[in-house]
């Protein structure tokens, strides 16, 4: 656990290691969760026919050093170009480990930036409470993130942003991850207070699914696919969410419906992992 405010200059590498371990732990926490509509979990491969939990574990093993390295780079005051280069190398390692399958590209970007910000704030002896991590990202790297997005080659996410006018991961990051700090993290904290970690994570996932412009859903199902998942997630929440009897059955029913429609809310999964990561940095309480 890294305290909310700590000067790390004399022990920068050890604190980078703490941040890196928290990032990998958060990604495993997300992976191990079920039921999780359309997503890979210990239950099954969801809407994916090219990956399973083993694929994700190979990817996680390949990425272990990346989050530590980007946290150390952030602590050293790296600019976005340096962080981006680390991310690109991590993506190549991921693809080598998974034989070309994209398991964690979104997390490499989002969790990488959050880890870099945690490194910088720690090195400066600043707090990571509230939305300090988001403000750090927006202030230090936001403009460069926007420029990089304008120059980036095509991807499924970028095409969804351009075609449908969606707010993608780059836009969220450049703005300081408002959905993470205004919705996902508060939902996780509030839900964890009820004592059931699995239920808290599912409640957080559904809360994000109900609101996020998930470019994975737009790529797979267009606006209709995104709307379907949003409507179903909101219905789940409006009928009590994980506080209602039979919530697992209702979550599993949506899981089966997403598989039938080949829909996978990967952006929401990344946001859940980010919320678990930030909470873990503050408390050491999620996934430990």
Cα 204 from Cα 190, distance rounded (Å): 10
pLDDT in tens, 45-54: 999 999 999 9
Domain count, the chain: 1
Place of tokens 């290691």: 17
Task: Assess if residue 2 is contained within a domain.
Answer: no
Examine the pLDDT at 162 and tell me if it is beyond 90: no
Average the pLDDT over 34-47 and give the result. Answer: 96
Cα 236 from Cα 66, distance rounded (Å): 36
Residue scoring higher pLDDT (257 or 153): 257
Task: Assess if residue 1 is contained within a domain.
Answer: no
Q: Taking all residues of the chain, what is their mean pLDDT, rounded to a whole number?
A: 92
Task: Assess if residue 134 is contained within a domain.
Answer: yes
pLDDT in tens, 103-126: 999 999 999 999 999 999 999 999
Examine the pLDDT at 198 and tell me if it is beyond 90: yes
Residue scoring higher pLDDT (30 or 5): 30
Examine the pLDDT at 8 and tell me if it is beyond 80: no
**0.95 cut: is pTM over it?**
no
Average the pLDDT over 17-46 and give the result. Answer: 97
Query: Which residue range is the domain that position 210 belongs to?
Result: 9-283
Give the three-class secondary structure for 36: coil
Task: Assess if residue 27 is contained within a domain.
Answer: yes
Place of tokens 């964890």: 192
Task: Assess if residue 3 is contained within a domain.
Answer: no
């Amino acid at each position: 656990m890294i305290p909310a405010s700590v000067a790390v200059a004399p022990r920068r590498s050890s604190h980078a290691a703490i941040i890196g371990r928290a990032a990998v732990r958060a990604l495993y926490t997300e992976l191990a969760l079920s039921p999780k509509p359309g997503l890979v979990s210990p239950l099954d491969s969801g809407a994916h026919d090219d990956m399973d939990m083993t694929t994700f574990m190979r990817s996680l093993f390949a990425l272990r050093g990346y989050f530590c390295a980007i946290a150390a780079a952030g602590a050293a005051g790296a600019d976005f170009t340096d962080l981006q280069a680390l991310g690109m190398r991590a993506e190549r390692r991921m693809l080598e480990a998974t034989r070309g399958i994209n398991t964690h590209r979104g997390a490499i970007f989002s969790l990488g930036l959050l880890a870099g910000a945690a490194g910088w704030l720690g090195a400066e002896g600043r707090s990571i409470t509230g939305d300090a991590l988001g403000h750090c990202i927006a202030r230090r790297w936001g403009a460069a993130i926007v420029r990089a997005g304008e120059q980036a080659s095509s991807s499924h996410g970028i095409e969804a942003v351009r075609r449908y006018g969606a707010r993608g991961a780059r836009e969220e990051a450049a703005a300081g991850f408002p959905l993470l700090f205004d919705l996902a993290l508060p939902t996780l904290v509030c839900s964890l207070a009820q004592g059931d970690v699995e239920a808290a994570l599912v409640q957080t996932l559904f809360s994000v699914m109900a609101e996020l412009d998930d470019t994975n859903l737009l790529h797979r199902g267009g606006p209709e696919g995104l709307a379907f998942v949003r409507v179903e997630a909101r219905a789940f929440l409006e009928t009590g969410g994980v506080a209602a009897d039979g919530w697992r059955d209702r979550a599993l029913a949506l899981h089966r419906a997403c598989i039938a429609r080949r829909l996978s809310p990967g952006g929401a999964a990344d946001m859940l992992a980010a919320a678990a990561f930030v909470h873990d940095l503050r408390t050491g309480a999620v996934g430990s």
